Structure 1
Amino acid sequence: MYLASIISVGLFGLTGLVSAHPGHDVKAEAAERAAFLQNAPIHSHSFPQCSSKLKARGHLRRSVARREMAVKHLRRRRGIDSA
């Protein structure tokens, strides 16, 4: 009896998870997203729009330094002379 009540409470809890979005239409959401992306200007979601801000913040410089350190570490670990 105790096991049956635990199982029934567990199943009741799972129904709450399953019915979290009743009536959600995936096709309508996909159509809405496609319409937005079709009407949005290409420059609004491209890298050149952000590149000046990233460069001013030093993002590129830090990325290059991080990659150089990774290469040095890998070369040192593999015994490759970095001449």
Structure 2
Amino acid sequence: MAEMSGMPGMPSLSCEAPALFKAACPDCRAYFELSAGALRLAIGASHRTTFYSFTCPECGAAVRKPAGDRIVELLTGGGVRTLRLHSTV
């Protein structure tokens, strides 16, 4: 987080840079950075049903990758939209 100091006696303003996430496309093998708005996170009942997805900005492929606990923590903390999947019994 970056801080901008104001005038003496005035409170300082803090500016938070938007989160960027490094990603790679398994189809075209391009590497790029994506904003939180370009990613989606789905949290399922198990590690097998928890994943994140995005569209490759280079080739347009729909990409879906597994998300472990650390990835879930980073993405949710960075403002990625999250969908919680519920199992039907």
Q: State the TM-score bracket (shorter-chain normalisation).
A: under 0.3
- Of structures 1 and 2, the one scoring higher in RCO (CA 8 A, sep 6+) is 2
TM-score after normalising by structure 1: 0.20
TM-score after normalising by structure 2: 0.20
Report the structure, 1 or 2, having the larger helix content.
1
Report the structure, 1 or 2, having the larger strand content.
2
